[in-house]
Structure 1
């Protein structure tokens, strides 16, 4: 083990952030980090500042922070796959309804839906929401056609169809408020191959791996990979491949993995997810990494406090990761702020990347810009007593 790994203080760090299924440009994450880091610094009493990125990579920024008397330089890079997301969302309205039928059939026929409901009802309700919303929109449009025929006879059929089409196009236009199409595309993308990673995404993950591998020998003290939402299971696969191929040098940076608001079971419970299940099993027993999983029961879009390895049924006798912890929104946010955010489900799903009024052990900006490695920060920390570890998945096979 290198002397770097034994240092008590991080001076330089590389952070790689893998977003969830998000079609928006990565600059939104830069602005979010800028505003929320300043808010957290004011609350917690440390200094933090951002500047344009200086390291290689497509998109990111530099951070300088003084915390607990120590100065730390961090380079943050967003590992972009938003172009793949946008391409997968370009389906027409009829194609989206075909996706709905196909995705619903996969989750129902494989039994995955019922097993997911045994974990957390929140993310399952979130998964059923676009189905209910899109079916409701279709029924409203059909009702318009039926009413036109009732009022004007068959002469009203074509005008009714025209109004129904206009109505469906309007529903699609306002989806930035309803999120029905967006969520439908999200679940359809994960389920299209019954859990197998699409080829185009596999190629992108290989590029992510190269970037992380290069950072490990760049002279920094820690390389931290952050996977949010569906980005968490992508990070699992990238890091498992990296470690499996012995690409983590002995004389290099500390390798850390922080998964936030993960939805791993939505994929790992599907029949063709042998690759992901294998990666989960391998990563959970690796001594080459520190893996901390943070979620909160208040986040209805995540499988909160569900150990993704254990509930998938692939935990082996040598399992050591992840350390499952709660962000405890009800305790770390002021009552009035919690009340204001309680029903803003998508906003709460991003709270892990934001400032907390009463931060506990979890502080995103101390983790990404502070002087301690992820391992040091949570050394000796016991996992949440409310975590769920019961094996639930029907499919537990892993690839050879």
Structure 2
């Protein structure tokens, strides 16, 4: 019987960058509390949460493989920027829809992205279709009122009914996610892939937090980016490397989950992100693990974000692996979740019935650093490296 691997982490600092999400960090704390307890029950290890400082984080004490590890979590928030971008009327959202479609069609990005993965493109088209269907339903209701009322009264009734129905759809968007997803795609399209100034400044603040942690005596500083937060995490670390702000020997690792980076890098003004990806793909100081799953329709599953963006890496980053939902979830859970696309996009942060190489709670609270945990891992055999990107300037 082989001996248990040596403990390399007793104190870990985790920074988590969420995706396009308007919610308070406590949402992620409660998700970690609930799902961590379930994973600990399934896998047979100990895991408990303690209060964090400042309301943006939490502490985790975990005993795995007979070794105790303490992890300090901090959520790097940009939810205020998200909320500001989600404002506006129903009419403004429909105007966003037209502008976003125009950008992705006229740049050719929409058609080129379909050569990589059709799933995330269909997911991107969903809010467009949903909003058009809602408009047709509202118009049909308005025409029904118009048919019942004479003359000018009927016209007024038509207009009022359309407005009321559209506002009703918007109030119940937590059921449809049409407005939410439309705002998400419009946020990127508005700047044609460039970082808006307020977000660029926020990335600099994130970099300050991570650089300060890298100077301290942590056994591992782990940066996690989920969904849209994945490419933000890449940019933060790439810029720290460029600026020489990570001390020699700093034990910094990167984990990206459910990334959709081509949705940005295939746009003409995404020069900064492409430059950051090229830098991260060429370096070997920071171990970078990229995890997606073909069952996640919102992610560009198993697409190497450096290679598919038309950039030529010279290092080993990233290591692209699959969370393999069909294998790691029980048949019952897979059947329950397979059509809940938004929920599946968050499965990377949740418990697995049959955890394999990827286990969020062993990675974030276990006794081994990310590069050591995946030292023997190989890229997924289904990894996609071909590029259809016409915009490769950095």
Report how far residue 137 of structure 1 moved: 1.3
Aligned residue among 212, 216, 219 for 1:218: 216
Tell me the distance in 2 between the aligned counterparts of 1:131 and 1:264.
Answer: 20
Shift of 1:298: 0.5
Matched, 1:38 2:34: no
Instruction: Report the alpha carbon displacement of residue 145 of structure 1 after superposing the two structures with TM.
Output: 3.3
Cα deviation 1:349-390 (Å, max 9, x = unaligned): 000001111100100000001111110000021100011110
In the alignment, which of 95, 98, 106 is matched to residue 98 of structure 1?
A: 95
Decide whether the 8 Å contact of 2:138 with 2:163 is kept in 1: yes
d(CA) in 2 for partners of 1:52 and 1:152? Answer: 61
What pairs with 1:220-235 in structure 2 (closer than 5 Å)?
220-235=218-233
Give the corresponding residue for 2:143. 146
Cα distance in 2 for residues equivalent to 1:158 and 1:144: 13
Aligned to 2:63: 66
Give the match for residue 164 of structure 1: 162
- Aligned counterpart, 2:3: none
Distance 1:199 1:283 in 2: 22
- Select the residue among 364, 379, 392 that pairs with 1:368: 364
The equivalent position to 1:293 in structure 2, one of 247, 268, 290, is 290
Matched, 1:328 2:327: no
Aligned to 1:85: 82
Q: Is the 8 A contact 2:291 2:320 kept in 1?
A: yes
CA apart distance, 1:150:
4.1
Instruction: Find the aligned partners of 1:64 and 1:93 in 2 and give their Cα distance.
Output: 46
> Within 1, Cα distance between the matches of 2:37 and 2:292?
23
Distance (Å, rounded) in 1 between the aligned partners of 2:7 and 2:61: 18
Deviation at 1:144, TM superposition (A): 3.0
Using the TM superposition, name which of 281-290 and 153-162 deviates more.
153-162
Match of 2:311 in 1: 314
The Cα of 1:8 is off from its aligned counterpart by 5.2
Instruction: Return the alpha-carbon distance in structure 2 between the equivalents of residues 177 and 283 of structure 1.
Output: 38
- Say whether the 8 Å CA contact 2:25–2:55 is kept in structure 1: no
CA distance in 2, matches of 1:195, 1:83: 20
Q: Could you tell me how far apart the structure 2 residues matched to 1:209 and 1:266 are?
A: 24
Aligned residue for 1:201? 199
Partner of 1:348: 344
Aligned position for 2:14: 15
Counterparts of 2:16 and 2:141 in 1: how far apart (Å)? 46
Aligned equivalents of 1:171 and 1:149: distance in 2? 21
CA shift for structure 1 position 154: 2.8
Aligned to 1:359: 355
C-alpha contact 2:284 2:315 (8 A) present in aligned 1: no
Q: Distance in 1 between matches of 2:151 and 2:264?
A: 47
Q: 1:175 aligns with which of 173, 196, 199?
A: 173
| 8 Å CA contact 2:119, 2:297 repeated in 1 | yes
Matches of 1:224 and 1:333, distance apart in 2: 26
Residue-pair matches, total: 388
Shift of 1:142: 2.3
Cα separation, 2, equivalents of 1:105 and 1:24: 29
Deviation at 1:68, TM superposition (A): 1.1
- Say whether the 8 Å CA contact 2:123–2:298 is kept in structure 1: yes
CA RMSD of aligned residues (A): 1.3
Query: 1:151 offset after TM fit, Å?
Result: 4.3
Is the CA contact (8 Å cut-off) linking 1:243 and 1:288 kept in structure 2?
no
CA contact (8 A) 1:248 1:288 kept: no
- Supply the distance in 2 between the matched residues of 1:382 and 1:308 (Cα, whole angstroms): 17
Structure 1: where are the runs of 5+ without partners? 1-6
Q: CA deviation at 1:152?
A: 3.7
Q: Distance in 1 between matches of 2:94 and 2:269?
A: 23
201 and 114 in structure 1: CA distance in 2 versus 1, 3 angstrom threshold: same
Q: Aligned residue for 1:304?
A: 301
Contact 1:20 1:227 in 2 (8 A): yes
Which range is displaced more, 146-155 or 194-203? 146-155
What does residue 52 of structure 2 align with?
53
